[in-house]
Structure 1
Amino acid sequence: MSRRAVITGVGAVAPGGIGRDAYWDLLSNGRTATREISLFDAAKFRSRVAAECDFDPVAAGLSPQEVRRMDRAAQFAVVAAREAVEDSGIDLGAVDPGLIGVSIGSAVGCTTGLEDEYAVLSDGGRNWLVDHTYGVPHLYGYMVPSTLAAEVARQGGAEGPVALISTGCTSGLDAVAHGVQLIEEGTADIVIAGATDAPLSPITSACFDAIKATTPNTDDDPAHASRPFDGRRDGFVLGEGSAVMVIEEAGAARRRGATVYAEVVGFASRSNAFHMTGLKPDGREMAEAIRVALDRARLDPEDIDYINAHGSGTKQNDRHETAAFKRSLGQRAYEVPVSSIKSMIGHSLGAIGSLEVAACALALRHQVVPPTANLSVPDPQCDLDYVPMTAREHRMDHVLSVGSGFGGFQSAMVLGRPGRSGEAA
């Protein structure tokens, strides 16, 4: 009998709300968490708006030693993982630690800690030769992205496979998919999977300023700066955060009476082998990822009830994936609701895919489609049902979440509502 993977716990550290319930409250009410940057002085930058997490690590339960040791991204991941494990109701201490795995995604690793420490070591960039003795004791850990996964593994006592997945902006989707694969192949019975990024720093802002990818619309109305699929959009809004989920083998979850959010029924990833930041307008590679994900899920386009779009808020991306939906789903693309939660929580790079998977799991639970906030002047070239401004109650059995990343990465994941494949709700 084939092994299947289900989500039984969800944890989130997100802009606008710390914790799963606060995160869903923000999304379902269509509130935005974008604002002027407060984490550093952004006055000299082209884009000065971001979606920040109001995060106090001590209030979130981290010890002073953990706060000192961990980069901000690691802190997010550990807090989200703790919530996910608690939500799942599972006693990890009663599980063979060799059958507990961890799969964490991140695009930029410990960016915040590295930049802070470089500023200290170089005396604000004035010294080319730095004095390493001024660095914090755990500076080496900031330079190794796998530290993020290792911290989560330490918290959960995971002695099975532990991996850091870094595929740019699809890292979150790909990390969850890797966790699902570990379950399906029998390498692990439980996987703590998700992603984290805390990229809000001067170096990240400078990089995206240089390629003019982020919005310059920052002074007049930062709360409405993220406008996916809107004709007035002029770039995406950087964000930060983490979502982590407990993924279990379905039969074991059923036997212990776990509450299931969703089953991950299909996944695929493709590359466009085209350009580091560019996208082909026909959306062929994303369409192929969607097609293969549906095939693996044994579903037809008519079975998809909601699409959680990448929806970054750049003209190139929004038109690319609109074409991909039409190419892969045909007429169904015009009938199924589509929305982008980046309109509310910005684009947290590697973390966003996991935040979107969590949003899909919660949408299935509540049977509510989150809206695309700030969408009031539709782009004529984006002519699908993008659920503007207000959430919508909607019957959903299967949802599709897609991601697109620098380097040409295209990923698609299909989640199913509990009970649609023989699983108890």
Structure 2
Amino acid sequence: MPWAGETPAEGDKVEGTPEGRRVVITGIGVVAPGGIGRKQYWELLTAGRTATRTISLFDASPFRSRVAAECDFDPLAAGLSRRQIRQWDRTTQFAVVAGREALEDSGILGQTAPYRTGVMMGTACGSTMSLDSEYALVSDEGKSWQVDEFHGSPYLYDYFVPSSMAAELAWIVEAEGPVGVVSTGCTSGVDVLGHSADLIREGQADVILTGASDAAISPITVACFDAIKATTARNDAPETASRPFDRTRNGFVLGEGCAVFVLEELEHARLRDAHIYAEVSGHASRCNAYSMTGLNDQGLEMADAITAALDMARFDPAVIDYVNAHGSATKQNDRHETDALKRSLGSHAYDIPVSSIKSMIGHSLGAVGALETAACAMALEHAVVPPTANLTEPDPDCDLDYVPLTAREHKVDAILSVASGFGGFQSALVLNKPERRAV
């Protein structure tokens, strides 16, 4: 079987099954609210600190919800040039900075052939902030229906096409293998990891730089969620506004951020003595085909996605040591998710810790699944479960162990992470220590 740098000969067999090619995480990069870089991010989560605050990126005073989890991101300090800052939307800036950190962490550069290297990125909203600001510019703040294109940015096409973000990362890593974007709303960050792992299992690549990025704290996004009252109006207490599984929760807090990973075929990683954070052993996605924003009772589709992901990993539910919850802090989602975990994990759902880091970093839409995966990988690394901040009045209908307020030392060998998104998308991802899986 050919490995990095080798050209497959005619007749060579490339294993395409999960048994033949296993996939691991060997590098992590993060841009998150409250922490630029994976170390600061992990410190924030384990300290139980919240990064939610009053919106400062624009004047949010006319809006119903005026709180968000913003990244304290200085692109110049992060190593970007003024030309790159001018050219790239904030979403792409996050992706490049996190991507560079992941590549440095893994030490992979120069150790794989370009045609065996790919890039896959997830996003829900793409270059929303630049499109929003450019429209305001060419329309004279919305006063003119006939826009003046001469005032627009020369990079407007890049803002319009989300694949431009993946292309920028491909040039950095010199990837000539599969390059693309997955956009499935708020499950994008989970689904892109599952898709990337499948590409490696199928033999399409040995290494894939993958993750998700969203920076959509803009007037148009806030207005959209205001219209359906999905976000919290707890503007007088922004630090505690995100309250997953709490009786007093009243909507999610919008966030932004990015996490990028180096995914590698397991033997490829072992041959170069790479540090391995986790194995990506199972993924599944379902759709309820029911409503753009509503959820069916009992969590049937999420439960089915969890069961399918566990089956792919060849794990019994009792193997799972921790569940990273979607935990958006909306009334219906938290109850729906609780029911789904009970349905899929059975009585074991009551025996393991479950927590939502959205209580600390908000809901960064398509990016949050990747940020949660980074937290899961580090939970495996450090045997610590992040808490659910702001959980002081538990909802009686949400009766699992949600790790309130304080991080917990806990033996963690296998993790389930779940995601739910508008459109009815329900996804599940299984991570574990490679030695935990005997296939």
Instruction: Report the TM-score when normalising by structure 1.
Output: 0.98
- Indicate the SS of the match to 1:73: helix
In the TM superposition, 1:62-101 aligns within 5 A as: 62-91=80-109, 93-101=110-118
Please give the per-residue CA displacement for 1:160-182, whole angstroms capped at 9, x wherever unaligned. 10010000000000011111011
In 1, distance between residues paired with 2:246 and 2:227?
23
Match status 1:212 vs 2:212: no
Letter aligned with residue 284 of structure 1: L
Match status 1:322 vs 2:338: yes
Please give the per-residue CA displacement for 1:128-153, whole angstroms capped at 9, x wherever unaligned. 11111111110111111111111111
In 1, distance between residues paired with 2:242 and 2:111?
45
Does the CA-based 8 Å contact 1:281-1:316 persist in structure 2?
no
| Partner in structure 2 of residue 381 of structure 1 | 397
| Partner in structure 1 of residue 50 of structure 2 | 32
What's the CA shift for 1:65?
A: 1.3
Match status 1:245 vs 2:248: no
| Partner in structure 1 of residue 311 of structure 2 | 295
In 2, distance between residues paired with 1:113 and 1:96?
34
In 2, distance between residues paired with 1:390 and 1:112?
34
- Aligned counterpart in structure 2 of residue 117 of structure 1, from 126, 134, 147: 134
In 2, distance between residues paired with 1:294 and 1:331?
16
| Partner in structure 1 of residue 72 of structure 2 | 54
Please give the per-residue CA displacement for 1:340-387, whole angstroms capped at 9, x wherever unaligned. 000000000000000011110010000000000000000000000000
Match status 1:281 vs 2:297: yes
In 1, distance between residues paired with 2:408 and 2:112?
40
In the TM superposition, 1:181-260 aligns within 5 A as: 181-219=198-236, 221-260=237-276
Give % identity: 66
Please give the per-residue CA displacement for 1:171-198, whole angstroms capped at 9, x wherever unaligned. 0000111110111011000000100000
What's the CA shift for 1:89?
A: 1.3
In 2, distance between residues paired with 1:409 and 1:150?
26
In 2, distance between residues paired with 1:65 and 1:173?
32
Match status 1:137 vs 2:127: no
- Aligned counterpart in structure 2 of residue 357 of structure 1, from 373, 376, 383: 373
Letter aligned with residue 132 of structure 1: E
Letter aligned with residue 124 of structure 1: E
In 2, distance between residues paired with 1:366 and 1:245?
18
| Partner in structure 1 of residue 8 of structure 2 | none
| Partner in structure 1 of residue 191 of structure 2 | 174
| Partner in structure 2 of residue 332 of structure 1 | 348
Please list every run of at least 4 consecutive aligned residues from structure 1 whose deviation after the TM superposition is greater than 3 angstroms: none
- Indicate the SS of the match to 2:435: coil
- Indicate the SS of the match to 2:430: strand
| Partner in structure 2 of residue 369 of structure 1 | 385
In 2, distance between residues paired with 1:95 and 1:298?
30
What's the CA shift for 1:422?
A: 6.4
Letter aligned with residue 309 of structure 1: A
| Partner in structure 1 of residue 6 of structure 2 | none
In 2, distance between residues paired with 1:45 and 1:397?
44
In 2, distance between residues paired with 1:88 and 1:295?
29
In 2, distance between residues paired with 1:342 and 1:157?
34
In 1, distance between residues paired with 2:86 and 2:270?
40
- Aligned counterpart in structure 1 of residue 61 of structure 2, from 13, 21, 43: 43
| Partner in structure 1 of residue 11 of structure 2 | none
| Partner in structure 2 of residue 15 of structure 1 | 33
Please give the per-residue CA displacement for 1:315-335, whole angstroms capped at 9, x wherever unaligned. 100000000000000000011
In 2, distance between residues paired with 1:237 and 1:152?
29
In 2, distance between residues paired with 1:30 and 1:161?
38
In 2, distance between residues paired with 1:89 and 1:97?
15
In the TM superposition, 1:141-160 aligns within 5 A as: 141-160=158-177
Does the CA-based 8 Å contact 1:172-1:354 persist in structure 2?
yes
- Aligned counterpart in structure 1 of residue 286 of structure 2, from 270, 273, 276: 270
Ranges in structure 1 where 5+ consecutive residues have no aligned partner: none
| Partner in structure 1 of residue 5 of structure 2 | none
- Aligned counterpart in structure 2 of residue 348 of structure 1, from 349, 364, 367: 364
Does the CA-based 8 Å contact 1:88-1:258 persist in structure 2?
yes
- Indicate the SS of the match to 2:53: strand
In 2, distance between residues paired with 1:237 and 1:61?
29
In 1, distance between residues paired with 2:216 and 2:117?
29
What's the CA shift for 1:95?
A: 2.0
What's the CA shift for 1:418?
A: 3.6
Comparing 284-293 with 140-149, greater Cα deviation is found at: 140-149
What's the CA shift for 1:157?
A: 1.1
- Indicate the SS of the match to 2:280: strand
Letter aligned with residue 26 of structure 2: T
In 2, distance between residues paired with 1:413 and 1:212?
29
Instruction: Report the TM-score when normalising by structure 2.
Output: 0.95
Does the CA-based 8 Å contact 1:214-1:235 persist in structure 2?
yes
In 2, distance between residues paired with 1:289 and 1:95?
33
| Partner in structure 1 of residue 16 of structure 2 | none
Comparing 315-324 with 142-151, greater Cα deviation is found at: 142-151
